[in-house]
Chain A
């Protein structure tokens, strides 16, 4: 693990579904994980109930800062279906959408 000076907002929760802090995101970036997809895969940020609706933008901002690029240049991961969590039993009844 890389030693990184602690910053005042390191404890801020970035991904509420999976409980991932800004400090953890910063640590992963400093360890060389430089895409949202990689950060998601290693930390679970963005894999929870809300599928990264908020945290992907926060992570993108942090990556942009760390890498010194405009935020638009940070590649966004694909949204994977379904758009909202849906019960298996609902799908089995063929109702597709709640």
Chain B
């Protein structure tokens, strides 16, 4: 390793780390080093469903997602990325299966509309106009937002990484962070298996491994890994536009531009772990549920199943910002299954916070201190 010092070290080469490194460089930070122990997008980013939705139950999540969508909409030009990140706004169709859930959805829509997010409320029959083969049994209503969608997670991460490099950031792959040196509550250096990088600031974007990184700086961070599984089918002709999502079944399913269907379902009782093995009971649960809600998909063949980790936090919300008492230690983790969709705005907000001392979207409520203060921000709408 020839570089021995950096203004800022970003730990983790998932989409959040790559976006943060790029935005830091864009704000003029000349000496950004990103350290990734494997390859870019080898963690949760490369394993995720890559859905992007603005339909949430808290104002902050709606605003973060809305701002992220605005960046996704012109990301290919913004990052000058020729292959394209394949952002498609084919909408999210969210299904409600009880009166209580429907009331919550209606409250969400009211909130979303007040924030300039255009969401429609639909009867079950109205939902069927969007997905003609939807089974309506037990469904009470649905909401639909056309500007929600999905992107290619590999290309998004690669696009940020390449753009960051062009602006002078250094990206070290196959390099593991082993320790963080702290003196008088100030960051001194990041120690990797390839050498020591002197620095006064660290951004912890290590996903499910973020608590391990925090521990290196002497910080107890309440973030843990939780396995979530997903599968993909053979590609077929375009037959379903939106992502279909049901909290009742803890299920989501979507057809990619490539034609494959990608789908996931939550497994009750999944323990805290770093386990990313696939299981047979997931396949069975998934197959049964999808055939109930979207019957014709039973005719599709599964070509691949895999698993990844959600980086969970106690209130299923991200942890963003500086982490007292350690000066220069910043967190951008705890995304709890919705980190891909907000990564563009998280990168911007983190860079603004670090370089300018203040971000344009107010993320102060998402600091790590909220757990001690008892100011958790529960999101009623999480899935998978």
Contact = CB atoms under 8 A, between A and B. Distances in A.
A binds B: yes
Interface of A: 1, 35, 37-38, 41-42, 44, 47-49, 51, 80-82, 85-89, 91-92, 94, 96
Q: Which of B82, B83, B287 has the most chain A CB atoms inside 10 A of its CB?
A: B287
Given A80-B304, A80-B306, A86-B301, A92 B287 contact: yes
A35 B39 contact: yes
Given A88-B299, A89-B298, 5 more contacts: A48-B303, A85-B303, A87-B301, A88-B286, A92-B298
Nearest to B46: A41
Interface residues of B, number: 32
Contacts of B284: 91-92, 94, 96
B290 interface: yes
Contacts of A1: 82
Contacts of B298: 87-89, 92
Contacts of A89: 287, 291, 298-299
A51 B38 CA distance: 22
B249 interface: no
Contact of A41 (B41, B278, B297, B305): B41
Contacts of B42: 37
Contacts of A38: 39-40
28 contacts: A37-B39, A37-B42, A38-B40, A41-B41, A41-B46, A42-B155, A42-B158, A49-B303, A51-B303, A51-B304, A81-B278, A81-B304, A81-B305, A82-B303, A82-B305, A85-B303, A86-B302, A87-B300, A87-B301, A87-B302, A88-B286, A88-B290, A88-B291, A88-B297, A88-B298, A88-B300, A91-B286, A91-B287
Contacts of A92: 284, 287-288, 291, 298
A44 B258 contact: yes
A17 to B, nearest CB: 9
B154 interface: yes
Contacts, number: 72
A41 to B, nearest CB: 4
B288 to A, nearest CB: 5
A81 B287 CA distance: 15
A86 to B, nearest CB: 6
A55 to B, nearest CB: 14
A48 B260 CA distance: 10
Interface centre among A35, A48, A86, A92 (most CB of B within 10 A): A92
A88 B46 contact: no
B361 to A, nearest CB: 30
A81 B42 CA distance: 18
A29 to B, nearest CB: 14
Contacts of A94: 284
Which 4 residue pairs across A and B have the least CB separation, nearest first?
A89-B298, A85-B301, A91-B287, A92-B287
A91 B299 contact: no
A35 B41 CA distance: 12
Contacts of B278: 80-81
Nearest to B294: A88
Contacts of B1: none
A38 B174 CA distance: 13
Contacts of B40: 38
A92 B280 CA distance: 11
Interface string B129-149: 000000000000000000000
A85 B234 contact: yes
Contacts of B122: none
Contacts of B233: 88
B82 A42 contact: no
B302 A82 contact: yes
